[in-house]
Amino acid sequence: MKIVTIVGARPQFIKAATVSRIIRANPAVHEILLHTGQHYDENMSEIFFRELGIPLPDYNLEVGSGSHAVQTGLMLKGIEEVLLKEKPDCTLVYGDTNSTLAGALAASKLHIPVAHVEAGLRSFNRAMPEEINRIVTDRISDLLFAPTRTAVINLSQEGLADITCFTGDVMYDSVVYYKERILQNPAKYKTAGIPEKYLLATIHRAENTDNPGNLKNIFLAFSSLNQEIVLPVHPRTRKILQTSPDLPGNVHIIDPVGYLQMLKLTMDATRVLTDSGGLQKEAYFLRKQCITLRSETEWIETLHDHWNIIAGSDPGKIEAAVAGDLPTAPIQEGFGNGKSAGIILEKLLLF
């Protein structure tokens, strides 16, 4: 069986590393890895391939940044050329980025079956580009791998139950696997020059970075917190911050870090403040309370017992969440058993 796996953004590298490790251990499957180049600089791309042991891509489209239309159009052209050349039995796409949508579109128009990992997530906010990507990808896919029971319900309500399979979350597989590596040599993955005690924050979604009011309110909240904040900054966000007012003195901006270093930062943080879906989950898996800097979340399983608190960009809600008690309840087992990648391969072989 020949599979073309399409990735392009940092979260997809993490997911693909887990699944590709299982796929490539099976001699009955030949995987071709296509990198769109959506995330392309050293700290957002190459370091992930090195540290996660992902094989170098067989193809790199080097699309880079651009508007949604330009980026997706360039990807469609490049992906189609690769699919016509390789003639795979199946195309595997991940998550909710422009790379996901372009991969699914190109394959479906060539009548190549599409399998979508992390299907069925819904924020019910169509102002999010990611929401559009999710909905369209699920509609044109042939096999949907749902990471949670909520995702299964969403897909069933959309009439897609027959092609849906609950697998659990491959990111949970990843955290379980790589946490052990970090614990074996924690000093190796510690970030130099950061405070001993800190809150970990990330901001990258357009609803915050492209909205001066939201961004201003988030940093206003940060400035009022009597704690140090470590903020790894995506290149796009750094460019926006360069035109913003002075940052609060308690905010320590650092360059993006690799996946293992980011896991270590999460493990050592007091709390996490983020608009990232992936980091919400990683915080949950690592038993760190998360304050979500958005008005909704796709990962409603993380909300129980205040493990995840929706604060948006409201300074009062952010401050109240950080001032509250840390949760003590056990996390729930809504994300599978850490063996999602094996289930995915099993279903692909029956596809």
Q: What positions carry a catalytic annotation?
A: 204
Q: Which residue has the tokens 């159009």?
A: 73
302-335: buried (b, 16+ CB within 10 Å) or exposed (e) per residue? Answer: bbeebbbbbbbbbbebbbebbeeeebeeebeebb
Report yes or no: 146 and 155 within 8 Å, Cβ to Cβ. Answer: yes
Query: Cβ atoms within 10 A of the Cβ of 131, count?
Result: 18
* Dihedral sign computed on CA atoms, order 93, 99, 102, 103: negative
Q: How far is CA 165 from the centre of its chain?
A: 20
- All residues at 6 or more sequence positions from 101 whose CB lies less than 8 Å from its CB, including other chains: 72, 132, 133, 136, 137
3-state secondary structure of 83: helix
223-232: buried (b, 16+ CB within 10 Å) or exposed (e) per residue? Answer: eebeebbbbb
Query: Cβ atoms within 10 A of the Cβ of 145, count?
Result: 27
3-state secondary structure of 30: strand
Report yes or no: 290 and 283 within 8 Å, Cβ to Cβ. Answer: yes
- All residues at 6 or more sequence positions from 267 whose CB lies less than 8 Å from its CB, including other chains: 179, 182, 286, 288
Report yes or no: 256 and 44 within 8 Å, Cβ to Cβ. Answer: yes
Within 13 Å of residue 41, how many CA atoms lie on the same side as its CB?
8
